[in-house]
Amino acid sequence: MKLLAISDTYIPAAFMRNGFAPLGEVGIEVEVREWEHPTLIELQEANLAIEQGGPEAVTLPEALFQGLDAFDFLCVQFCPVPARMIEAATNLKAVGVLRGGTENVDVALATSRGIVVLNTPGRNARAVAECTLGLMLSEVRNIARSHALLKQGVWSRDYPNKAAIPELCEKTVGLVGYGSVAQLVAGYLVALGSRVIAFDPFFQGDAAPAELVDLETLLRESDVVSLHARLTEESRHLIGADQLRQMKPTAVLVNTARSGLVDESALVAALQQRQIMGAALDVFDTEPLPPDHPLVALDNVTIAPHIAGSTIDAFRNSPKMMAGHLRRMVEGRQPLPIVNGVEPEAFTGREVPSP
């Protein structure tokens, strides 16, 4: 059996080789090819184009299509897996995506061909959760804007929330989406003394330490609203003008998930009109954020260049996590993070090297 791993600037070839090396124990030979970009910004631009336009949105180098019929498994992070790639990989059994979203894969075609598509839920959950907490504190405590002013030689205490700068202790924080990232955020917030509520119609099980509520209740009661939902056609612009009007005038909106969850123009208008107190954003409809974008001119927003999930630990661990999923699949074990409902073929009976 053979696996093709396609590296990128964030998860380089060495991380791929090291992370997937244990698969040799179950008879999987690993080859790594590189999807190269001169800078991280260019990779981010390509990734945003794929998120918005699907796996056909960018053109791949011909070298990535060579000899695909030799591989049983294909693993990527940001590299797209378009129809041409799937059609050329005639022996493909599974596609593994080294993050939560799979919009870079033609999932419909893979499904029609009986190819398993797996993601890596939680692979950068801690990175995003920690950054989320940092952005919350930065916005409500004016950390970023005071830093920017001091770098300009200005000592100021004149901020949009100067009349009532809050602490997170005893404040209500609402989490929209309650997956692995939000659950970590909830734990951090409880340690700070916050009340945590969450909206997630798909969540099952014990939500502690959060209390599950409907979206209207969450918006009405929260001092901070933090977004952690998946971006789907149903969740696109989940937070629009109507939802922003339901928030407290002293509330802050935080988004480290996907920009499409928010109607960006409606948010800009709400911030300009002081309809809500502020926002902290790591994701935008256009990336890199243009210097003349209205968000840049606002004094009640903290902005970061899509860095929430970008830690060395998350990138190094992602191939290791996927290697574990693939090993379980080959050995016929569960659980597996299959996103397209395709049942894995039986690998029993194959010759597997002894450990």
Catalytic one of 99, 123, 306, 325: 306
Residues 109 and 14 in one domain: yes
User: Average pLDDT in the 16-41 region?
Assistant: 96
Whether 346 is in a domain gets the answer: no
Residues 165 and 118 in one domain: no
Per-residue confidence (pLDDT) for residue 346, from 0 to 100: 76
Query: How many domains are there within the chain?
Result: 2
Catalytic one of 123, 258, 264, 325: 258
Residues 20 and 79 in one domain: yes
Residues 321 and 288 in one domain: no
Q: How many CB atoms lie within 10 A of CB 227?
A: 26
Whether 335 is in a domain gets the answer: no
The mean pLDDT of the chain is 94
Check if the beta carbon of residue 222 is closer than 8 Å to that of residue 189.
no
Buried-state track 170-204, b at ≥16 Cβ within 10 A, e below 16: ebbbbbbbbbbbbbbbbebbeeeebbbbbbbeebe
Per-residue confidence (pLDDT) for residue 9, from 0 to 100: 93
Structure confidence at residue 354 as a pLDDT band (50, 70, 90): very low
Q: Is 114 left (phi over 0), alpha (psi -120 to 50) or beta?
A: left
Domain containing 91: what range? 2-123+312-330
Residues 37 and 73 in one domain: yes
Residues 172 and 297 in one domain: yes
Residues 242 and 95 in one domain: no
The rounded percent of the chain whose pLDDT value lies above 90 is: 91
Shortest CA distance to 282 belongs to which of 132, 143, 121, 145?
132
Tell me if residue 287 is catalytic: yes
Whether 211 is in a domain gets the answer: yes
Whether 342 is in a domain gets the answer: no
Catalytic one of 33, 287, 328, 345: 287
Tell me if residue 147 is catalytic: no
Two tokens at 90? 């005639």
Per-residue confidence (pLDDT) for residue 122, from 0 to 100: 87
- Whether the per-residue pLDDT at 268 is higher than 80: the answer is yes
Residues 56 and 119 in one domain: yes
User: Average pLDDT in the 242-266 region?
Assistant: 97
Residues 73 and 137 in one domain: no
Domain boundary pick from 284, 303, 322: 303
Tell me if residue 328 is catalytic: no
The CATH number of whichever domain residue 129 belongs to comes to 3.40.50.720
- Whether the per-residue pLDDT at 353 is higher than 70: the answer is no
- Whether the per-residue pLDDT at 351 is higher than 80: the answer is no
